[in-house]
């Protein structure tokens, strides 16, 4: 790695289809980060995290390959930035155990996501749900990441990662780089089309609340047209206009226009005209992604080459950190 480049690690669980919110809020920022010369980026498909919730193996494998293809279809370049499956780099689980042994029970029990998931998955309240923040810390620290793009729901986990890095460094001498959160330029925080108080999510019980990257284009357009707004008619921000603000966020993210520009463009026009324009913008955003995805899924040999090469490149970096950690904790060198 060049001394002038900062290293970034990003990852998504292959637990199901990606939404428009995932793309506009995260993936598109990753693409921009990886294209320049400022950062060295690693992109992980976090399949080990995914099994804290029971998966159907056949669907799990399909979701994982779909996500890999979507990473590339959305613009990530595997030649420049390694794309790999977490489970293909053994150092993740090997470092995770060392970090689990340095993580306090109280720290894990305070994790908000654990409390939420414990309620949702009461019938499968496994130890992985409790300890996975330590695995997440291992993911980050293995690559000596300077920056980690995280949403608000992951800030608590990144703080734990920073605490563990400092704790290990203080106990065993300087070993890990202490990572910082990467806050991208104000990107779109895309909310549910049916309940704009909630983030757009594929787990929404109302399928009209989210748009999947692989939704048929006519279905995606219809979901926009059915989106909740309010009793007014002006395309403007304001109190009680969460629904229209969400559509403005989507339109702005797809077209590059600011809220002020959108308000000017639709001055004197109603919600019908605006929804039609948003639907067209979404369709034109999804079309090239879906076309590239379809081409990639016809070439499984290429996808296999991508994840194999990505794992090899990630392993070389991860193993350097792991060897240093194992030596410092006192393990006998194999």
User: For the chain, how many residues are written?
Assistant: 334
Which of 148, 126, 127, 122 lies closest to 136 in space, CA to CA?
148
Active site (annotated) includes residue 199:
yes
Cα 77 from chain centroid? Answer: 16
Q: CA 157 to CA 179: how far, in whole Å?
A: 12
- Annotated active-site residue in 5, 6, 177, 202: 202
Q: Which of 1, 16, 186 is nearest to 81 (CA)?
A: 1
Contact 45, 67 (CB under 8 A): yes
| HEC per residue, 7-45 | EEEEEECCCCCCEHHHHHHHHHHHHHHHHCCCEEEEEEE
The dihedral of CA 205, 110, 142, 56: what is its sign? negative
End-to-end CA distance of the chain: 27
| Among 199, 223, 241, 275, the one annotated catalytic | 199
| 225 flagged as catalytic | no
Which of 117, 223, 241, 275 is flagged as catalytic? Answer: 117
CA–chain centroid gap for 170, Å, is: 31
Handedness of CA 299, 43, 67, 29 (dihedral sign): negative
CB atoms within 10 A of CB 117: 18
Q: Would residue 120 show up in a list of annotated catalytic residues for this protein? A: no
Q: How far apart are CA 189 and CA 26, in angstroms?
A: 9
Q: What is the DSSP letter of 199?
A: B
Structure tokens at 281: 């913008």
Q: How far apart are CA 223 and CA 279, in angstroms?
A: 8
* Per-residue tokens: 192: 């549910």
Would you name the residues annotated as active-site residues?
A: 117, 199, 202
């Amino acid at each position: 790695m060049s001394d002038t480049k900062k290293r970034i690690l990003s990852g998504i669980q292959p637990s199901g289809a990606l939404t428009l919110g995932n793309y506009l809020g995260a993936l598109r920022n990753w693409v921009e980060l990886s294209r320049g010369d400022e950062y060295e980026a690693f992109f992980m498909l976090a399949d080990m995290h995914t099994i804290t919730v029971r998966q159907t193996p056949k669907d799990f494998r399909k979701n994982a390959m779909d996500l890999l293809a979507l990473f590339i279809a959305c613009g990530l370049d595997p030649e420049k930035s390694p794309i790999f499956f977490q489970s293909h780099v053994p150092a993740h689980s090997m470092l995770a155990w060392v970090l689990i042994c340095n993580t306090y029970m109280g720290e894990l029990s305070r994790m908000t996501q654990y409390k939420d998931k414990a309620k949702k998955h009461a019938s499968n309240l496994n130890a992985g749900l409790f300890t996975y923040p330590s695995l997440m810390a291992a993911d980050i620290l293995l690559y000596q990441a300077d920056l980690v793009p995280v949403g608000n729901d992951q800030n608590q986990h990144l703080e734990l990662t920073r605490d563990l890095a400092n704790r290990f460094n203080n106990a065993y001498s300087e070993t890990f780089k202490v990572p910082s959160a990467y806050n991208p330029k104000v990107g779109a925080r895309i909310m549910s089309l049916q309940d704009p108080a909630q983030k757009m999510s594929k787990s929404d019980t109302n399928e009209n609340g989210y748009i999947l990257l692989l939704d048929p284009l006519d279905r995606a357009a219809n979901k926009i047209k059915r989106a909740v707004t309010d009793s007014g008619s002006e395309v403007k921000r304001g109190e009680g206009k969460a629904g229209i603000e969400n559509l403005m966020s989507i339109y702005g993210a797809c077209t590059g226009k600011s809220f002020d520009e959108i308000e000017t463009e639709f001055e004197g026009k109603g919600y019908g005209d605006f929804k039609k324009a948003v639907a067209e913008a979404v369709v034109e955003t999804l079309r090239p992604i879906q076309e590239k995805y379809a081409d990639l899924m016809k070439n499984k040999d290429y996808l296999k080459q991508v994840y194999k090469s990505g794992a090899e490149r990630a392993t070389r970096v991860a193993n350097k950190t792991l060897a240093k950690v194992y030596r410092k904790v006192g393990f006998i060198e194999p």
